[in-house]
């Protein structure tokens, strides 16, 4: 039997966010989780939108209008960034699981790279979206 | 509180493989869906073009697979997060059940909607 559960011994429970000095490594790690939660919300919205399209056509228009309203765009922009951040972080994890890029130097390098890439790609997508703004459904 | 006996190494390995597989599949599938579906269809046209995109077999298959992988992948994330942060045993169990319930609802609603558009519309 392993040692007592931490609750009983009074030791802090992992992952020790309160007592851990913020670093890019832990920062990306926790944002990997935040973005996973945020994207799950985005996915639920996507399913709801497809549901309207399939089963409640009268709601499809209003739903789309909400999504492309300023408030909707705020969320869509956030989901875009969360998406790129999340797949960047996931790619790093997949590489680590193949024992690639595990040195401290490459962990920092890929961390800064993916952070920069997530912002760059988000702005690139939104510039492209705004570029096509005279669109039939908008 | 007595600890449950640890899961078998086989089931842990299987979980790890599914986890890796779903995160690896999520990237190409989501890129395909977002780039072709959102850029070309959602921004380019209205309801009809969305339905037309889904009716093309590779697109419909990609969308269904994307939803299955995403539901599984995100449910794994939520369960991991609950296991790490929800320290009350009862709440922990309830949270994991709630995640699985929501995952099934999302998967069924998404699949039913896409199939309806493909088959009946």
Q: What is the SS3 string spanning B42-58?
A: HCCCCHHHHHHHHHCHH
Please state, rounded to an integer, the average pLDDT across all residues of chain A: 86
CATH annotation of A24-130: 1.20.1300.10
Domain B11-120: CATH architecture, name and number where available:
Up-down Bundle (1.20)
How buried is residue A77: exposed, middle or buried, by Cβ count under 10 Å (0-12/13-18/19+)? middle
Q: Does B6 touch chain A (CB under 8 A)?
A: no
Dmax (CA) for chain A in angstroms is: 66
**CA closest to A125 among chain B residues:** B39
CA–CA separation, A27 and B55 (whole Å): 42
ipTM of predicted assembly, 2 dp: 0.88
| Chain A closest-CA separation from residue B100 CA (Å) | 13
Look up the pTM and report it: 0.86
**Cβ distance B71 to B103 under 8 Å?**
yes
Give the least confident one: A53-67, B37-51, B87-101.
B37-51
| Chain B closest-CA separation from residue A46 CA (Å) | 9
For the stretch B31-74, pLDDT in tens is 999 888 877 776 666 778 888 889 999 999 999 999 999 999 99
Per CB distance under 8 Å, which residues of A are interface residues toward B? 1-2, 5, 7, 13-15, 33, 36-37, 39-40, 43-44, 46-48, 50-51, 53-55, 57, 60-61, 83, 87, 90-91, 93-94, 97, 128-129, 132, 135-138
How confident is residue A136, by pLDDT bands cut at 50, 70 and 90? very low
CA–CA separation, B74 and B107 (whole Å): 11
Cβ distance A83 to B67 less than 8 Å, yes or no, reads no
Q: Name the residue facing A54 among B1, B42, B116 (closest C-beta).
A: B116
């Amino acid at each position: 039997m392993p040692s007592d559960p931490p609750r009983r011994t009074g030791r802090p429970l992992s992952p020790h966010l309160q007592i851990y000095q913020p670093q890019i490594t832990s920062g990306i790690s926790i944002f990997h989780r935040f973005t996973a939660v945020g994207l799950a919300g985005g996915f639920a919205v996507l399913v709801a939108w497809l549901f309207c399209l399939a089963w409640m056509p009268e709601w499809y228009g209003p739903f789309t209008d909400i999504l492309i309203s300023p408030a909707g765009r705020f969320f869509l922009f956030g989901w875009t960034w969360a998406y790129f951040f999340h797949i960047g972080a996931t790619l790093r994890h997949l590489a680590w699981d193949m024992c690639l890029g595990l040195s401290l130097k490459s962990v920092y390098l890929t961390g800064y790279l993916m952070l920069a890439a997530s912002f760059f790609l988000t702005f690139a997508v939104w510039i492209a979206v705004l570029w096509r703004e005279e669109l039939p459904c908008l | 509180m007595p600890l449950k006996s640890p899961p078998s190494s086989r089931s842990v390995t299987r979980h790890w493989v599914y986890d890796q597989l779903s995160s690896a599949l999520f990237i190409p599938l989501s890129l395909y869906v977002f780039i072709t579906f959102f850029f070309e269809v959602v921004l380019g046209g209205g309801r009809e073009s969305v339905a037309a995109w889904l009716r093309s077999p590779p697109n419909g298959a990609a969308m269904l697979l994307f939803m299955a992988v995403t539901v599984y992948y995100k449910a794994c994330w939520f369960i991991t997060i609950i296991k790490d942060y929800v320290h009350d045993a009862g709440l922990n169990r309830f949270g994991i059940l709630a995640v699985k319930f929501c995952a099934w609802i999302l998967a069924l609603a998404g699949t039913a909607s896409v199939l309806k558009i493909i088959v009946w519309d």
